[in-house]
Homo-oligomer: A and B are copies of this chain.
Amino acid sequence: MSTASRTNRQWIYRRRPVGPIEPDTYELVTTELATDVGRGEVLVAARYFSVDPYMRIQQAARNTWEAPHPLGAVQGGAVVSRVIAKGDDVLGIAEGDWVLAYTGWQELARCHVSQVTRLDPDAAPVSTALGALGMPGRTAWFGLMEAGRPRPGETLVVSGAAGAVGSLVVQFGKRAGCRVLAIAGGPDKCRFVQGELGADVAIDYRPLAGDAARIAAELARHTSGIDVYFDNVGGPITDAVMTHLARRARVVICGQVSQYDGGLDAPALGPRFLQHLLFQRATIKGVLARDFTHRMDEYVRLAAPWVKDGTLVAKETVVDGFEKLPSALAEMLKGKNVGKMIVRIP
């Protein structure tokens, strides 16, 4: 029995970080992968890797929406790959096809064909399956539309507005007829959200030094009341927004990235704000991408043409090199990306 194999590099999640991701959080290992594909299997070679904030959430010590990511295993994650071999019985997918699969941080993977989704490179650039037409896109769309319920003329505030999800929420908010106040870090991101995404106002939180009172004062310069708040970051930015909610405001909690590097295990302190919900009869709702997985087709049917014709900006920050995966994740958690952070094997 032949047992052909190929060298495969993998990033193993080795050690739970307490604060930011550290050099010993991951270990790069080289293994041999048996490449003989069995019935129903495909062998794929990774090209684009997703790095996402949820990866750091899954490194919390306690259960979050599920148990922590297991130690000693390949870091999970969505990957866009090319099919390099397939079982004789596999139909509908050919060698050379682009596919999306949750094969994690490894160069090669063998998996059952039911675990891959074929991508059409003519419909949109395949890397967008990790961003604007993938999990972040679905989160932005359904989070805003279903939980935020934006109405024309309302004021929408988006935190993390230059990120993978936030950059889409800004644009969806404009399509919905909202006045969009985009909060981002630094002048480059502010130019991006206003100049390229169409936000009405860009607020750079960096010179405000994480001071909720100063951020609130800046918000007050631009709005008398926030109808919808799409929150990707938490912390002092969210503290500031809570004090400026309008009557019957809807707050969508999509992420709390300011808290991920330690705050999930040992929560930071912040000002109590539930009284504002009472006064304004406001609602806060947590949303996760997985709650809308069954509606992905509905979203893609709408958004793929927008990506193709360029009316939806699908910004990416692409880092080249498999070996850069852990550092790209760490940088993304510090907000170094604009749009979707992707690691590419050139």
Interface, chain A (partner B; CB < 8 A) = 57, 63-65, 231, 234-235, 238, 253-256, 259, 263-264, 267-288, 291
Contacts and interface: CB of A to CB of B under 8 A. Distances in A.
Contact of A259 (B234, B255, B275, B285): B275
A284 B281 contact: no
Given A253-B278, A269-B271, 12 more contacts: A65-B281, A234-B272, A254-B278, A256-B278, A263-B275, A264-B275, A267-B273, A270-B271, A277-B284, A279-B286, A281-B288, A284-B284
B270 A277 contact: no
B286 A281 contact: yes
Nearest to A271: B267
Contact of A291 (B57, B270, B271, B281): B281
A145 B34 CA distance: 58
Given A278-B254, A288-B278, A268 B272 contact: yes
A276 B269 CA distance: 15
Given A267-B272, A269-B270, A269-B271, A277 B286 contact: yes
Give the number of copies in the complex. 2
25 contacts: A234-B272, A234-B274, A235-B272, A253-B278, A256-B274, A256-B275, A256-B278, A263-B272, A264-B275, A267-B271, A267-B273, A268-B272, A269-B269, A276-B286, A277-B284, A278-B287, A278-B288, A281-B285, A281-B286, A281-B287, A281-B288, A282-B286, A283-B283, A283-B284, A283-B286
B274 A286 contact: yes
Contacts of A283: 283-286
A271 B23 CA distance: 29
A172 to B, nearest CB: 19
A222 B282 CA distance: 30
Given A280-B286, A284-B284, A272 B269 contact: yes
A100 B283 CA distance: 32
A267 B283 CA distance: 20
A238 B273 CA distance: 12
Given A281-B291, A283-B283, A284-B283, A274 B64 contact: no
